[in-house]
Structure 1
Amino acid sequence: MSHHVPGLHHVTAITGEVQPNVDFYVGPLRQRLVKKTVNFDDPGTYHLYYGNAEGAPGTILTFFPFAGARQGRAGHGMTESFAYAVPETSLDGWAERLRGAGVTLLPEEQRFGDRVLPLRDPDGQKLELVGTAGLSGDADDGFHSVTLWLRDPGPTARILTTVFGYEEAGHESAAGQERLRLVAKGGGRASVVDLLRVDDAPRAQPGAGTIHHVAFRALDDAMQNDLREALSVAGMQVTPQIDRQYFNAIYFREPGGILFEVATDPPGFAVDEAPEALGRSLKLPPQYEGIRARIEASLPPLRVPE
């Protein structure tokens, strides 16, 4: 039984040095740092959340920074890239501005009729700007899509269509690779997932510059619980619900080996900070408040660009 998952909730990636990451995403990429907290499983390291002004689901990119992390490499069984939707009329302006900021741009691509501008962040993580019809101005509208790198896209596509309610929306093949596009019903923000199969793709190597997991939206706990049951029936090993302070989460590895999460929309990022003050102070879950001084002393200082 499928449920109508509206799209992505967030993408979580790994960075090495934290300051270049903040400089890049708040600077040339124009994201807002909406939450500065710690990795709940390793409170000696940050967990940073970027998003739009209000930190809406479908705009959230999060990072685990590990100083000295070895360089990772995308490959089969890993998310290759994430993409932001930008107005198609603004793509040239974005390219010019990014180039002026010293950002490494990759050759422009055409994909399902859209212009796509790929680039790399300071850790070498590939991300893309997709020129999107119907958007105005020159700001991004949160995520457009993620691209999952798979040896066999079939079993992953079955989970996304039969459990999450995605629909096949296109297929492209070029020299040595094929791309299957799936779109969540309603086609709103962050509704696209591309499944990419590449001949001779490298073996994935986790580390800095790679994506740790992709999270899909559940509108509330009830929907998440229904999805958990449906995933279990489909043969997935799903964790119990975990409280992540700003959403509740369940996790499973999809058939291609990529870590998926289902995260609830509520309570959201304004649960412990006023909306206008998001990301300004270090927020800790209750279990770590007692050792705040020790945690703050162990974290590197962070300068957030204006």
Structure 2
Amino acid sequence: MPKTIPGIHHVTAISGPPQPNVDFFTGLLGQRLVKKTVNFDAPDTYHLYYGDDAGSPGTILTFFPFANAGPGRAGAGMASAYAYAVPKGGFDAWMEKLASDAVDFEGPVERFGQRVITLRDPDGAPVELIETERESADALDGFHSVTLWERDLAPTAKLLTDIFGYQEQGHETIDGGERLRFAVPGDARGTVVDLMRSDAPSIGRQGAGTIHHVAFRAEDDDTQMAWREAVASAGFDVTPQIDRQYFNAIYFREPGGVLFEIATDPPGFAVDEPQETMGQDLKLPPQYESMRDRIEAVLPPLKVA
């Protein structure tokens, strides 16, 4: 069994119409659209991937955009937020940029000794920016963390520490709720998971503006299979390996109900197009290539800033 999960591979969320989503993430947040493909389970819908220029694990945020999606609402048993890491010295510049662009944001507030601001994407989902000590030339340095909203923190904490190799980093009580922080050692991106328990009377509902699942990294197929055995041995119902074209994936639900994925780093997003032109053309998995004309006819055109 591997010692620790290296960190977050990607986060997948649900949005409304795709163009406002593209405008927000490639425009305001300066992310690259690294892959334009379809939902492998519903090919009449896009699957959009944003990240750094290389599409590196730990920077990837993906969306299933549904034009007619009803609004969702985070609640217990769901991932409620993701946070981007703001490199050292860049936090005040972000607040100034958002203010000059007349973009509303909440904060800054302090969380575990780090400043945090929260803005909202076009579907009202929270997008957190957290001040870090990492050095990077990028305005945003991939993920800092995800927050999981749990009714009971203990079972998920046990999974993170006993199986995934996370270490508890701290505890805070804020506004009638509590937050536990866990992290894995090392300087990779996305090494932090926060568990939150809140007294807010919210019943979660999947829809536009909510997170669908959180994916953790496995360095290769052999490592992923070792994680699969470890998770299955702990009593979780884990899927077989599924080919997602740009990584292989396994899925299971953690004790609180959040859908977890473990995804391989390879082959990566340049497997079917050069890195220089990633995200420009619609890429389809082999099983849908014969349907390209029909798929392209129903997908709305997208313009990238």
> Following the alignment from structure 1 to structure 2, what is the Cα–Cα distance between the partners of residues 134 and 48?
27
Quick check: 183-192 or 100-109, which moved more? 100-109
- Compute the displacement of 1:108 (Å): 1.6
Where does structure 1 lack aligned partners over 5 or more consecutive residues?
none
> Following the alignment from structure 2 to structure 1, what is the Cα–Cα distance between the partners of residues 135 and 78?
30
- Compute the displacement of 1:185 (Å): 2.4
> SS of the residue aligned with 2:96?
helix
Q: Partner of 2:87 in structure 1?
A: 87
> SS of the residue aligned with 2:90?
helix
Q: Partner of 2:274 in structure 1?
A: 274
What amino acid does structure 1 have at the position aligned with 2:12? T
Report 1:1-306 matches (<5 A).
3-137=3-137, 139-305=139-305
CA RMSD of aligned residues (A): 1.2
Question: In 2, are the aligned partners of 1:146 and 1:192 still within 8 Å (CA)?
Answer: yes
> Following the alignment from structure 1 to structure 2, what is the Cα–Cα distance between the partners of residues 16 and 274?
29
- Cα deviation code 1:109-129 (max 9, x no counterpart): 101111011111010111111
- Compute the displacement of 1:261 (Å): 0.3
What amino acid does structure 2 have at the position aligned with 1:68? N
- Compute the displacement of 1:174 (Å): 2.3
What amino acid does structure 2 have at the position aligned with 1:81? A
- Cα deviation code 1:145-165 (max 9, x no counterpart): 001111111111111111111
Quick check: 189-198 or 83-92, which moved more? 83-92
> Following the alignment from structure 1 to structure 2, what is the Cα–Cα distance between the partners of residues 201 and 272?
46
Change beyond 3 A, Cα 1:276–1:165: same
Quick check: 105-114 or 88-97, which moved more? 88-97
- Compute the displacement of 1:140 (Å): 1.0
Q: State the TM-score, normalized to the length of structure 2.
A: 0.97
> Following the alignment from structure 1 to structure 2, what is the Cα–Cα distance between the partners of residues 138 and 92?
15
> Following the alignment from structure 2 to structure 1, what is the Cα–Cα distance between the partners of residues 208 and 99?
23
- Cα deviation code 1:193-247 (max 9, x no counterpart): 0001111341101100000000000001111111111111111111111000000
> Following the alignment from structure 2 to structure 1, what is the Cα–Cα distance between the partners of residues 137 and 230?
40
Question: In 2, are the aligned partners of 1:87 and 1:136 still within 8 Å (CA)?
Answer: yes
- Compute the displacement of 1:138 (Å): 5.8
Question: In 2, are the aligned partners of 1:3 and 1:227 still within 8 Å (CA)?
Answer: no
- Compute the displacement of 1:90 (Å): 1.3
> SS of the residue aligned with 1:93?
helix
- Cα deviation code 1:5-25 (max 9, x no counterpart): 100000000000110000000
> Following the alignment from structure 2 to structure 1, what is the Cα–Cα distance between the partners of residues 238 and 101?
42
- Cα deviation code 1:10-60 (max 9, x no counterpart): 000000011000000000100000000000000000000000010000000
- Compute the displacement of 1:188 (Å): 2.2
Question: In 1, are the aligned partners of 2:13 and 2:64 still within 8 Å (CA)?
Answer: yes
Tell me the percent identity: 63
- Compute the displacement of 1:177 (Å): 1.1
Quick check: 22-31 or 196-205, which moved more? 196-205
> Following the alignment from structure 1 to structure 2, what is the Cα–Cα distance between the partners of residues 131 and 208?
27
Question: In 1, are the aligned partners of 2:241 and 2:249 still within 8 Å (CA)?
Answer: yes
What amino acid does structure 2 have at the position aligned with 1:290? S
> Following the alignment from structure 1 to structure 2, what is the Cα–Cα distance between the partners of residues 125 and 8?
19
> Following the alignment from structure 2 to structure 1, what is the Cα–Cα distance between the partners of residues 100 and 210?
25
> Following the alignment from structure 2 to structure 1, what is the Cα–Cα distance between the partners of residues 297 and 138?
39
Question: In 1, are the aligned partners of 2:121 and 2:127 still within 8 Å (CA)?
Answer: yes
What amino acid does structure 1 have at the position aligned with 2:103? V
Q: State the TM-score, normalized to the length of structure 1.
A: 0.97
What amino acid does structure 2 have at the position aligned with 1:38? V
What amino acid does structure 2 have at the position aligned with 1:129? L
- Cα deviation code 1:230-280 (max 9, x no counterpart): 111111111111000000000001000000000000000000010111101
> Following the alignment from structure 2 to structure 1, what is the Cα–Cα distance between the partners of residues 36 and 87?
29
